[in-house]
Every structure is written in structure tokens, then in C-alpha cells.
Structure 1
Amino acid sequence: MASNIGIMDSAYFVGRNEILTWINNRLQLNLSRIEEAASGAVQCQMMDMTYPGVVPMHKVNFDAKTEYDMIQNYKVLQEVFNKLKIAKHLEVNRLVKGRPLDNLEFLQWLKRYCDSVNGGIMNENYNPVERRSKGGKDRHPKGAQKISKSLQSSNLHNPGSGDTVGLNKTSGPKQGRPYAAAGGANSSEVQALSKEITDLKLSVDLLEKERDFYFAKLRDIEILCQTSELEDIPMSVAVKKILYAADAKESPLAEAQEYLYQTLNVGEAEDETEAEAEAETDTGH
């Protein structure tokens, strides 16, 4: 088994969108936020996919909501790390708090590690939905999956697997097949819409950060212009014209530039007048 892996700095430049896409595609989930992986269950299943049979999936609680239940999941993960001799310290107390940055950093490390095993090639024979619902054991040999209500709301059905979820045994074959086909189509639509929503949320987050960044810059300029020592400086007045300009047809930038141009010309003219006056005074003497 591999020991600890040396993580390159570039691993921590992987964004939230890429991490969420990686999780959702591999585990057939529908996560829209990094915090939704704070329970540790996703990390356990990623290791289960990377090292089949090593993780006791029957001990992993995908419905964990309390910190106690989440800690139990991380205990399972730590046991797996110890078994594989992976020297990775888990900041459990921080992860279970659901802090986006702490969880993002750990998932970035996990992605880098999983990608380093077998070249990051996905196990095509791995059925993530089945592993979650059956806890790693074949409890229903006839192939009927029994997925909890919470998993039905958060996990997406895989239309290519041929499995159906919760079909009524009393339904005839003519009723059962259209139901399964409709369920597969709806799942595809839900997956597409969920991905679009996720992308939009990430775009909004980026735009809000960019807005806050430039607003802070403008606020610094405003404070600087309000400093008493700068009240009479032309540049300060010009910047104020831009900051406090109301909506108008004429550009506030053009107005500020015209103000500076006139101010500088007046200043130069006054300097020339003073120079000429001094020259005349010198000549008179």
C-alpha cells in the first residue's frame, strides 16, 4: 500500500466547481456546496472506490447530521488511513463544523491522492449507489435496491445500470417498464438542472467577491479624499467627481479630466504671470 503522498502546491488551486464535479460524477451524487461533504461519508466512499473492500461501508452513515455521527465517519476514515499507512492528519474538529475552506482543502488533498493511485483511472465496475444502499454487502441477491428516503432525495439514479428504485410488486409488467423509463428521464433532467444551478451559484459567488473587492478599493479612495490635508489638491477633487457623479449623459471621467486640465492650465498661467512680474521687478531695479 502507498504511504503518504507528497502534495504539490498546485493541488490546492483546484476550485470548488471542479471538486464538486469530481465528487458528483464519481459517486453519482448531487452536491451543490462543499459543506455538504462535511460529514466524512463522501471521503469514505472515495477511498472505497480507490481501494475496493478496504472501507467497511456498513459503518459509514450518509445521513449523519450531528457532530457525533460525523465524528464516527471520520473514525472509519482514520482507520482506513492507518490500514493503508497514509500519514494524513484529520482536523476532525474543524471539518465537522462545515467550514467551506477547511473542507475544500481536505477534498483538494483527497482528489490529488486518489488521482495519484492507478493514474486516477475510475473503477468502471464500481456501483456507488449500490455500495451506499447495501453498506458493502449483498443483502438483496435478487437485485432489488432499497434506498432510504434521504438517499432518494440526494442521490441520482443511474439509468444505465438497469436497476429500479422502489417499484410496486403488484404492478404489471406494462406499468412497471414505463415507470422506470420515466424515472430515468426525470433523473437526467434533474441532474442537468442541478448542474446548471451549481454553476450559477458559483458564478454568483465569484461576482460577489469581485464586487466586494472593487468596492473596498473605492471606499479606500473615498476615505483618502476625505482627509483634510487633501481637500485642496486637484487630483482629490477630480477623484471625488468620479466617485460622487450621478447618472448622466456626460461621462464623469471626462468631467474630471476637464477639471484637471483647466486646473493645471490655470496653475501654469499663474506661475508664468508671477515669473513675468518678478522679471519686470528685477528689470526696474
Structure 2
Amino acid sequence: MKIDRDLSLPALLVTVVVWASAFVAIRAVGDTFSPGSLTLGRLVVGVVALTFFARPRISALPTGQPLLLVVLYGVVWFGAYNIALNAAERDLDAGTTALIVNVGPIFAAVIAGFIYKEGFPKPLMIGMSIAFAGVVLIALSTKSDSTAVDSASTTGVLLCVAAAAFYAFGALAQKPALKHMEPVMSVWLGCLVGVVVCLPFAPTLIDELGRASSEDIWWVVYLGVFPTAIGFSTWSYALKRISTGKAASTTYLAPATATLISWAILDEVPAALAFVGGAMCLIGVAITRLKSTPKATPASEQAPAS
């Protein structure tokens, strides 16, 4: 009798590390690739890599409403989210960006409160207020010492908030679509839609690839293979075997992991006040998890992808 070993925890740890590393990789090539071209390059690599996992067949492709949902989250999550995130990291360090984007689950919870009639419990409202206070604090932060990166840009913070909102809409659209297809297939299709949306950036990508160093090009390949293809695959594996809440609580390690990786590779640490604001974002998100909503909110409990 074949025993199906549950490797959910190792899979989630892989997801946390590779998603956290995406913030660092984006920061590393921010001066070489523009936000749109970097998104296109990453998604093209992701589509190629995921093809070997998903092994797409015409008979397995969704139609009707599920297909419309795929197009929606492909445009919003894989396209707009990544462009906003890439643009934000031109002004913010990797750790601070990861912290702010982690308010995405709160946005998803608010939207779900309207769409799925789940209401607005007190922990949600309190946590959301604390998280937004943290965002404001980061926006007002200034460079406090020689080891910190430049003061947080208001534009960068706003772009992070936009990325978090795009994530929320994308996650809410993907969740019902998963009822009609395998998780890896849903990721492959989302990447494919993202590639189509970002095709206008192809000339810029080709030009920037011609001027990029081999190290920068390898960073783009890394983003496509690891955070996109492998990260989403391991997340999907775990999500099939444990509750979304347990999976999401593990991925809240991503911001702290991104900060440590950024410190080690890029030698950058958030300014002191920005770090406090980021911690407030995490505390706010954690408070929203103190009490269950009347109905399960799977999409709102996921953490942001990179």
C-alpha cells in the first residue's frame, strides 16, 4: 500500500524563502530593468518553467466563468501587482516593501465582507487601523543612521499599498477558479495571461536585456523559476493538504525573511522608524486573525506573492 507522505510544512518553508527572496531579487535589478519589462521577463520564464509542472492539455483548460476569473486574476495579480511592486522597490528597500505589501490580506478581508456578506468583525477593523497607521509611519520615516537605506518614499509606499490591493482582488478572483482546475494549472494560466498583458513592454525588455549584465539576467531567471514556478507550486501543494489559515500564518514569516536576506545580500536595512511601521503592519494583520469570521475567508488569509 502506497503511503502519501504529507510534506506540507517543508513545502511552505520553501514558499516562504523563495517568496521573500523575490523582494531582494527585484531590488537587485531595479536599476537595470524597468517595472514592466521585469514583470514580462519574470512571467515568460515562469510560463516556460511551469509548463513542465502543469503539462497543460486543451481538455483541462477552463471555459466560461472560470476562464473569465483566470483572465481577471491574471491581469490584476500577475500583471498589475508585479508592475506596482517592481516600481515600489525602486524607492523602498526589500524588507520595508515586504512589510507594507503584507496588508494585502486585510484588503481581501474587507472586499470579502462586501462580496461574500461576511461582515466586519471588530478584530478586522482594529487590525486594519493599526496596519494603516504603520503604513503612515513608514511614509513619514527618515534616514536615521548610516546603515539604513534612504528615507521611505511616499510614492513607494503608495505603490506598495496599490500592490496589496491588486493582490487582494487577484486572490479573491482566483479562489473560486480553483474549483475548476488544479492549482498548478491555475498558476500557469495566470502567468500566461500576465505575459499577454505585458507584451507592450517587450521592446523595452529586449533593449534592457541587451545592456544587462549576466548577473542581472540570472536574477530575472531566478524570479521566474523560484518565486514564480516553484514558490507557487509548493504553496499549492500545501494548500491542498492543510487549511488556508495555517498556510497563511506560515507565510507571514516572509517579510522578516526578506529583511534578513536583503541585509545579507544587498547590505540594506530599513530605517528605524520604517521598521517600527512595518512591525505595526504585521501586528495589524495578526490581530485580524484573532477571531474567525462567520464564514471561512480562504482568499483573505493568503499572503502576497512576489
TM bin, normalised by shorter chain, reads under 0.3
Structure number with larger C-alpha Rg: 1
Of Structure 1 and Structure 2, the greater helix share is in: 2
Relative contact order, higher structure (CA 8 A, sep 6+): 2
TM-score (norm 2): 0.23
TM-score (norm 1): 0.25
